[in-house]
């Protein structure tokens, strides 16, 4: 019975696939939890920094801070695209590309020059294939292993470039994660830093030492670093969230397939047995008949 053997083989194959997708799902959900914790641990610092920036902004002249000052003519725009190194995560990577490409094309149409900085192998191979888009830099390490020191170096390159006029604007395309099942890619401006709204009544109550301007100029680089760090951690968490969902539905589908295949297999096996029995009893009848 060839049909039975063929069914058995397919059943085995699907069962193996289900084991793999289940394993990836479990790993992704563990990593998602760990990343959410990591992102949560950075929040007190980030919130406090943002509050402090508002507090000292009142005593400072924002136009005197190079990171707050917009360039007069914007021609070169640096865009950091944060995607993943691996696939099997649903449409996570392609959603990032689908957000980045229109931004890049719009800049080209306006006669500006976008410089792409990409994180994630997937993004590197994707943008290498897009003809009219040029990639200036690819993050060399696995995105998953990134730490604050690496983000700091990256942020410093952007800030140095911005102040020196090598870029007139810096933006980041990343995936924002609200809950474990809701995330979406978006494009956000990084430099120039939006002018902090001075919390004037609070500022008057605070002793600032040294004066607000000096403090502000030291807060701003930290603020940029934290913004990039949060964007990268959120993107990573979104990647795992997306992978978990994709692998969960793959596991479920494999389960459905296994049950329908085993039904089919049992039916084929049963009809094989019935046919054999019929043959035997038919043969016996024939023998008795003579």
Partner 1 sequence: MPLTLKILTPEKTLFEAAVTSVTAPATKGSMGILNGHAPLVTTLDPGAVEATLPDGSQVAFLVTGGFLEVSSNVVTVLADTGEPADALDEKRAREAETRARERLYAMRRDSQFDLARAEAALARAAARLRLSGRWKSRNPRV
Can you give the binding site for partner 1, defined by CB under 8 A? 38, 41-42, 44-46, 48-49, 52, 55-56, 147-148, 205-210, 214-215, 218-219, 222, 225-226, 229
Helical packing angle, 212-289 and 148-164, nearest 10°: 130
Q: Whole-number minimum distance, CB 229 to partner 1, in Å? A: 6
Distance CA 240, CA 236 (A): 6
Our CB check for partner 1 shows the closer of 56 and 89 to be 56
Q: Whole-number minimum distance, CB 45 to partner 1, in Å? A: 4
CA nearest neighbour of 117 among 70, 176, 76: 76
DSSP lists the bridge partners of residue 191 as 170
Our CB check for partner 1 shows the closer of 54 and 86 to be 54
Our CB check for partner 1 shows the closer of 46 and 187 to be 46
Q: Whole-number minimum distance, CB 188 to partner 1, in Å? A: 19
Q: What are phi and psi of 179, to 5 degrees?
A: -130, 175
Distance CA 264, CA 267 (A): 5
Distance CA 39, CA 233 (A): 6
68 with 256: CB under 8 angstroms? Answer: no
Q: Whole-number minimum distance, CB 215 to partner 1, in Å? A: 6
Our CB check for partner 1 shows the closer of 45 and 186 to be 45
Our CB check for partner 1 shows the closer of 27 and 46 to be 46
Our CB check for partner 1 shows the closer of 7 and 53 to be 53
Q: Whole-number minimum distance, CB 213 to partner 1, in Å? A: 12
Distance CA 199, CA 194 (A): 15
CA quadruple 74, 78, 80, 81: dihedral, nearest 10? 80
261 with 10: CB under 8 angstroms? Answer: yes
Q: Whole-number minimum distance, CB 235 to partner 1, in Å? A: 17
Our CB check for partner 1 shows the closer of 48 and 181 to be 48
Distance CA 227, CA 243 (A): 24
What tokens were used for 247?
Answer: 């692998």
120 with 93: CB under 8 angstroms? Answer: yes
Q: Whole-number minimum distance, CB 82 to partner 1, in Å? A: 18
């Amino acid at each position: 019975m060839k049909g039975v053997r063929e069914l058995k083989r397919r059943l085995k194959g699907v069962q193996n696939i289900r084991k793999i997708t289940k394993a990836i799902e479990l790993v992704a959900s563990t990593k998602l939890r760990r990343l959410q914790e990591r992102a949560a641990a950075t929040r007190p610092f980030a919130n406090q920094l943002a509050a402090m920036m508002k507090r000292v902004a009142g005593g400072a002249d924002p136009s005197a801070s190079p990171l707050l000052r917009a360039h007069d003519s914007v021609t070169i725009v640096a865009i950091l695209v944060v995607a993943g190194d691996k696939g099997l995560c649903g449409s996570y990577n392609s959603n990032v590309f689908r957000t980045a490409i229109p931004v890049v094309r719009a800049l080209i149409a306006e006669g500006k020059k976008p410089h792409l900085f990409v994180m994630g192998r997937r993004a590197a191979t994707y943008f290498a294939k897009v003809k009219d888009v040029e990639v200036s830099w690819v993050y060399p390490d696995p995105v998953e292993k990134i730490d604050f020191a690496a983000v700091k170096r990256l942020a410093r390159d952007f800030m140095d470039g911005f102040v020196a006029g090598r870029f007139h604007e810096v933006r980041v395309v990343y995936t924002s994660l609200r809950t474990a099942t809701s995330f979406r890619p978006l494009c956000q401006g990084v430099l120039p830093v939006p002018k902090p709204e001075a919390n004037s009544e609070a500022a008057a109550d605070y002793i600032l030492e040294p004066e607000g301007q000096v403090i502000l100029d030291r807060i701003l680089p930290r603020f940029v670093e934290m913004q990039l760090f949060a964007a990268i951690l959120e993107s990573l968490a979104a990647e795992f969230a997306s992978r978990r969902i994709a692998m969960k539905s793959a596991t479920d589908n494999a389960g459905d397939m296994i049950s329908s295949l085993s039904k089919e297999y049992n039916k084929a096996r049963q009809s094989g047995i019935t046919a054999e029995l019929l043959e035997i009893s038919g043969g016996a009848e024939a023998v008795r008949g003579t």
